[in-house]
Structure 1
Amino acid sequence: MTKSELEKKKSTTRALFMSGMEQAEIAERVGVSRVTISKWCVADRWKEARAAKNITRPELVNKLLLTIDNLITQVNESEDPTLIGGLSDKLAKLSAVIEKLDKKANVVDAIDVFTAFSKWLEFRAKTDPEVTIELIKQINRFQDMFIIESVGKGSLAG
């Protein structure tokens, strides 16, 4: 097998793996041994990439909130002074992570919406004389300013 063919198989294998398919099924479909697939997974960290792709920010926030709830329950049930003392620090750290996830999600969501809106404007410009290149440029400039200022402030609406 040539290097090019091997790279194509590896690329196909990664795509199937990222879609959630099991290694044994991929091996059968692509014609590569399961051991080879396993080596590629470890070397290129495919499992971590698949996990990151499949876990959404809202899911992460929910898991963190459940962790906070479990911590509070454990501390309340134990009545251990050392656990009670460390609880506030743990809660502060988990709360900070949740806040960062929420802020990041808002900026990413805004960028996604602005991108879709810009594409819609470009499509609309083909049939609507009011939607000019100058108008699109001006809207894009304001969208860019909004994103930059939002990132600087740490939240979207100001």
Structure 2
Amino acid sequence: MAKINIDKKDIAKSLFLNGAFTQEEIAAKVGTTRQTVSRWMKDGGWEEMKASLTITPDQIISQIHRQIMEINNRIGEREPGRRFATPQEADALAKLAGAVKKLETDIGVPDCVSVAMRFLAWLRPLDTGAARQFGNLFDAFIKDQASKGK
């Protein structure tokens, strides 16, 4: 049962961070109460997270690339024959490269919700009926995904 709550909480968090939903709407979408969503928001610092979402994955990747370049520049400045990464530098380079790969390939719940929200915003002015149907189907999909954590 705890796994379901974690999944619901993750989905609620994604809806809050990526959408413009009220606590009541989020609660209805994930099958919990507004009070529970309110507690999750307060305990998890979601308001602060939403404020910090102005940075994109591409910007983060760009920052990581700059860090990699800085490490490589330091290695390149060493005297000839000693231009090799130290174990700590090699470890840092591997971790940074792994972070870039993860950012470039991972698609999580927040990404799915974000795409669905953008699609709904695009579809709504074109066909409100289709947008309503898509919204209902996406809500059902989210609830189904949350229930698979049983």
Task: Give TM class, smaller chain.
Answer: 0.3 to 0.5
In the superposition, the TM-score normalised over structure 2's length comes to: 0.42
Higher RCO (CA < 8 A, seq sep 6+)? 2
Normalized per residue, the structure richer in helix is: 1
